Structure 1
Amino acid sequence: MKYIKSTLLGAALALAFGMSAPAAGDPPQDRQEKPSKAGKAAKPGKRAPRANTSESIVPHPEATDGSELTGQVVYQVLLAEVALQRGRNEFASQAYADLATRTRDAAILERAIEVAGYARRFDRVQQLARLWVEVDPESKRAQQVLVGVLVMSNQLDGLAPQLISMLEADRPALPGNLLALNRMFARNPDRQAVLQLIKKVCAPFLDLPEAHYALAVAASAAGEHEQALAEARQALQLRPDWEPGALLQAQLLARKSPGEAIVSLQAFAEKYPQARDVQLHLARALVGEKRYAEAKRLFEQLLLAYPNNPDVVYPVAILALQENDKVLAEAQLKHLVTLDIPDKSAPYYYLGQVAEENRQEAEALAYYRQVGPGEHYLPAQIRSAAIIAQQGKLDEARSLLRDAAARDPQLRVQLVIAEAALLRDAKQTEAALQLLEEDLKEQPAQTDLLYESALMAERLGRLELMESRLRKLIELQPDSAQAYNALGYSYADRNVRLPEARQLIEKALKLAPNDPFILDSMAWVLYRQGDLEGALTHLQRAYAQRPDAEIAAHLGEVLWMLGRKDEAQRTLREAQKKHPASEEIQEALKRFSP
């Protein structure tokens, strides 16, 4: 229960729960405070905490008129509080509402509103809040409660005067309150009504850029994009060096043209070179438009000015990784883990990747071990297990994955699939399938397990099992592009049921039109049907997106069959440099060498 400072409610509760109320007429400075359980006197004017009937309620030290403490008031307070403790929230709410309406006491009204909230009687909350404002129109707390109730119930009519009054009452906080205005109505679905309300509320404050900012946000949410942009520009006219205004303007421009947003950010950054947030957003916008070289230059400039800012260091490291600059990436990632950031899992994960690519296996494992729960935890465990398995310690690698599954059961399926992949790579394909089958017995409708077991069955030549698994997956997940693709490709690869294979792959391609592996499958079925040119077109698209070894082998074969033998050999040799261990490339080179 809230602490009580009303003379009427405080004294009534004191009597109801066996406490001594202050004598009528005793001045506050003369009243002796009753020692607390800790042996210290309560400070005058403070409310004493209370969680149940055995705790103390210290009345406000102001004198209480004994005539107000009728037996009915005491009885009704006691009745309501006991009912509340026994879970009879509606009864307690009704009792407090009756008492509050009769006494018109501010603290009883506040308590009645609180109890009505427990009872989920929001109609009663609103009635009592209006009465509280009527009883105590100067009370900020009463106004806040009434506004909160109206906002929560999406009743915007007549709300503007209350909001304006509250905003004007706290002038020092006015700019920040205007910026936060839209958050009050985030759950209101009528965005036009919210916009009209915010127009009224902001009307007295249009000399402030924050008012125009609030209008821009409301207009944008209501779909009035031109109005939103005009308000953002007006905010910047009032305060030309205001970064929030520049960022809002860029955000609004980006909806129509990311290029225009970048230009606006560049212009602001040139005029105000110390505008760090604008420069950061500009760099991120450049990354979003894949203008990596420009983004990297800007981030490196920011790094000189803010060498210890994680918002700068981390993007520099990631861009360096993207451009294969391992030296810069490693340096920045190592610096990042020395900074005060809440979660260091991401930099440790990427440091592990860098070490792994540099064949520093011990260092990679050490970094991966420091990756905690979150999005990088699963790949860190899988990569660690792969490193250990490559060292010839398959049992240890499997134990690592099983321990991780025990720590986080939600990751069990993905970790079982990873364990099966270790067995497959160790040429223990039958054991891999058996592992997946064991989990499928417990989760027969688990789609990832169905898909992986189908692929494993195909490797073992158990085509009926593969087909049954994929058809069950399609039944459970009819929008699974990978299931249609896998089944269609299995037919095309064996050169059987080609019309059905094509239908299945066409279905997959509709679901995922730019997937390079599905494009490869489509090319392969076209190749089987004799459409070499169509196959080449799809393969070139696929290989441009993903220079995968199997796609390269297919591309080389189709080029060879088209009579473009030199190009076929060149494609295969270049692919072999990228994938020296690929059996598909080696087989293709044997078949298509002079």
Structure 2
Amino acid sequence: MSSKLLASLISMALFLPLGAAQAAPPSSEAAAAARLVRAGETEGLTGQVVFQLLLGEVALQRGQLELALSAYRDLALRTRDAGVVRRAAELAGAAQQYGVALEMVRLWLELEPESQSARQMQAGLLVLAGRLDELDGPVAEMLAAEPDNLGTNFLSLNRLLARYPDKAAVQAFVERMASPYPKLPEARYALALAAAAAGQLERGRAEARQAQVLKPDWEAPVLLEAQLILREKGEPRIAEAAQLLNDYLKRQPDSTEVRLHLARVLIGAKDYHQAREQFDQLLRKDPDNPDVVYPVAMLALQEKDLETARTQFTRLLELPFPDRGAARYFLGQVEEAAGNKAAALAHYEQVPGGAQYLPARARAAQLLADQGQLDAGLLLLRQSNVRAPKEKVQLAQAEAQLLREAGRHQAAYGALSGALKAQPEQPDLLYDTALAAEKVGRTQEMETHLKKLIKLQPDNAHAYNALGYSLADRNLRLKEAHELIARAVSLAPADPFIMDSMGWVLYRQGKLAESLATLEKAYGIKADPEIAAHLGEVLWKLGRRDEARALWQKAVAAAPDNEALQATLKKFQP
């Protein structure tokens, strides 16, 4: 067989990614092969072989993967050329015909028994095919064949098996592979990862500790054990994890990764002072590392250290930090907190996209509305560049919020109902449109939306509560209202606003003692002005008017513009 012709036909396929080969126009390699055939350089090749070579190449160029695979598989069996066999295996894998791919790999290994590439492909295909029980031999041979790369290969084991669903089977497999290498730290670490993935947290910790004993300066098992400590028993064990990381830092004080992890653990414990000390050390060592600068800036903002936050977020804009939108958004937050509304608005308007784009647009619109430029704020929202359905929901909610705050309830209802027409089963829009409909007197529409939401989400406590409260507040169908709110209470028993609704329906039913106890409990959790209005009314009805007046006065001082509170005061203290 002419190796020249075979090489010309398969070299591009072997060294280019499969997707690129499929998408490309007819290659120069295929054209060269055609010229060779026309020139008569076909010594040792039958017409059928030449035809299949060209057929496979042209089919691949046209994206006809099945046809290309059929041609190459037949050609591989005819020629037993290792390059052709390898390409047939690759095409079969891409077509998810794993049985064919494994057949080709076995032939490849017959032709090139020492080929590590063939063994690696075989292992990957066995995983993809879900045939873990056949994996021991190929992987054990690969590990034994490269003693100088043993540690690196063990670190690859869990990546190889990451998508395999039976994590217990993966753990057992890694156990078998690691058993000949009890003193290899990477083998112990691979065992720790496999045990953790299988939910065996204590075993994972034990293996991670063993890896640390074998290789004391290695960061990875220390970080893994800290993560496993935080996962144990469903409760964070922050002090123990922090101590582990601190002990390592005493031995290896220059470990950036461990110190960064310790700082994050301390933030989780709300020990912001200690976390700040760790970040300050990191910043002194590596002032241009965005992974350090960003959490320092965020922590400073959390602690209301606005000057440090401003400095570090500004610094992020000078560094190769990928999320510039986040830096701009949080600079806006800093300037808002400092009272610099014009500067905050400028930052918000410069957020280019990403996760903070819509929050920034909403804050910018709110700032404009606060300055008496409601129409400008609404225009800014309406001109926002959003396409995803979820983003359109958030945009409609932001617009309705501005309109509600301005007392333009009809316009708020219009914004939400328009968005609901485009997404008629979107839960957040159903809920918000229902509340907006009630505000403009469309109570039947409100009920329709909430009942639809309950049908879509039978465990939505707020939907039951909103419908039940509306009925109770209008003093209608009180038995039904009580049942709806009771269902909400069963779903969210600690929610003070749902407790308030229960207290209110009990009041409407004339059960004053039960109502009082429920409302007092709700107000003890959340001193909300509407809860205060309801509690004061029950106290008034019970003849405890001085207590009611004192409660209302306190609530008015905290929320002088609350509509429900003002309505209650007007009713009882005109």
> Structures share a fold, TM > 0.5?
yes
The number of aligned residues is: 551
In 1: Cα distance, 2:387 partner to 2:538 partner: 48
Task: Tell me the alpha carbon deviations over residues 485-509 of structure 1, each in whole angstroms, 9 at most, x when there is no partner.
Answer: 1111222333443332232122223
**Normalising by the residue count of structure 1, what TM-score does the alignment of the two structures yield?**
0.81
Residue of structure 1 in register with 2:214 after alignment: 238
In 2: Cα distance, 1:385 partner to 1:325 partner: 26
Judging changes above 3 Å, is the alpha-carbon distance between structure 1 residues 461 and 67 closer, same or farther for their aligned structure 2 residues? closer
Task: Check if 1:484 corresponds to 2:453.
Answer: no
Cα deviation for residue 119 of structure 1 reads 4.5
Cα contact 2:400–2:412 (8 A) shared by 1: yes
SS in 2 for 1:157: helix
Judging changes above 3 Å, is the alpha-carbon distance between structure 1 residues 12 and 313 closer, same or farther for their aligned structure 2 residues? closer
Residue of structure 2 in register with 1:460 after alignment: 440
Residue of structure 2 in register with 1:346 after alignment: 326
Residue of structure 2 in register with 1:184 after alignment: 160
Residue of structure 1 in register with 2:248 after alignment: 268
Where in structure 2 are the equivalents of 1:110-509 lying within 5 Å? 110-170=86-146, 173-256=149-232, 257-259=235-237, 260-404=240-384, 411-509=391-489
AA aligned to 2:433 is S
Cα deviation for residue 457 of structure 1 reads 2.4
Cα contact 1:535–1:558 (8 A) shared by 2: no
Cα deviation for residue 147 of structure 1 reads 1.8
Cα deviation for residue 568 of structure 1 reads 6.6
Cα deviation for residue 156 of structure 1 reads 2.3
Cα contact 1:13–1:74 (8 A) shared by 2: no
Please, which moves more after superposition, 569-578 or 421-430? 569-578
Structure 2 unmatched runs, 5+: 34-40
Task: Check if 1:56 corresponds to 2:32.
Answer: no
AA aligned to 1:275 is S
Please, which moves more after superposition, 104-113 or 296-305? 296-305
In 2: Cα distance, 1:54 partner to 1:268 partner: 56
AA aligned to 1:248 is L
Residue of structure 1 in register with 2:36 after alignment: none
More helix by share: 2
Cα contact 2:130–2:164 (8 A) shared by 1: yes
Instruction: Work out the percentage of aligned pairs sharing the same amino acid.
Output: 49
In 1: Cα distance, 2:390 partner to 2:130 partner: 39
Cα contact 1:216–1:232 (8 A) shared by 2: yes
AA aligned to 2:518 is A
Please, which moves more after superposition, 171-180 or 357-366? 171-180
AA aligned to 1:106 is A
SS in 1 for 2:383: helix
Equivalent of 2:521, from 514, 538, 547? 538
SS in 1 for 2:179: helix
Structure 1 unmatched runs, 5+: 1-6, 18-41, 60-64
Cα deviation for residue 124 of structure 1 reads 1.0
Judging changes above 3 Å, is the alpha-carbon distance between structure 1 residues 486 and 189 closer, same or farther for their aligned structure 2 residues? same
In 2: Cα distance, 1:358 partner to 1:588 partner: 36
In 2: Cα distance, 1:548 partner to 1:470 partner: 24
Please, which moves more after superposition, 569-578 or 132-141? 569-578
In 2: Cα distance, 1:328 partner to 1:82 partner: 62
Cα contact 1:216–1:229 (8 A) shared by 2: yes
Cα deviation for residue 135 of structure 1 reads 0.8
Equivalent of 1:75, from 51, 61, 75? 51
Task: Tell me the alpha carbon deviations over residues 226-266 of structure 1, each in whole angstroms, 9 at most, x when there is no partner.
Answer: 32222111001112232211111112222225223333233
Cα contact 2:119–2:142 (8 A) shared by 1: yes
AA aligned to 2:200 is E
Judging changes above 3 Å, is the alpha-carbon distance between structure 1 residues 540 and 421 closer, same or farther for their aligned structure 2 residues? closer
AA aligned to 1:266 is N
Cα deviation for residue 315 of structure 1 reads 2.7
SS in 2 for 1:258: coil
Judging changes above 3 Å, is the alpha-carbon distance between structure 1 residues 294 and 523 closer, same or farther for their aligned structure 2 residues? farther
**Normalising by the residue count of structure 2, what TM-score does the alignment of the two structures yield?**
0.84
Judging changes above 3 Å, is the alpha-carbon distance between structure 1 residues 163 and 300 closer, same or farther for their aligned structure 2 residues? same
Please, which moves more after superposition, 390-399 or 401-410? 401-410
Residue of structure 2 in register with 1:11 after alignment: 5
In 2: Cα distance, 1:309 partner to 1:565 partner: 63
AA aligned to 1:288 is G
Judging changes above 3 Å, is the alpha-carbon distance between structure 1 residues 405 and 190 closer, same or farther for their aligned structure 2 residues? same
Judging changes above 3 Å, is the alpha-carbon distance between structure 1 residues 434 and 94 closer, same or farther for their aligned structure 2 residues? closer
**Aligned-pair RMSD on alpha carbons?**
3.5
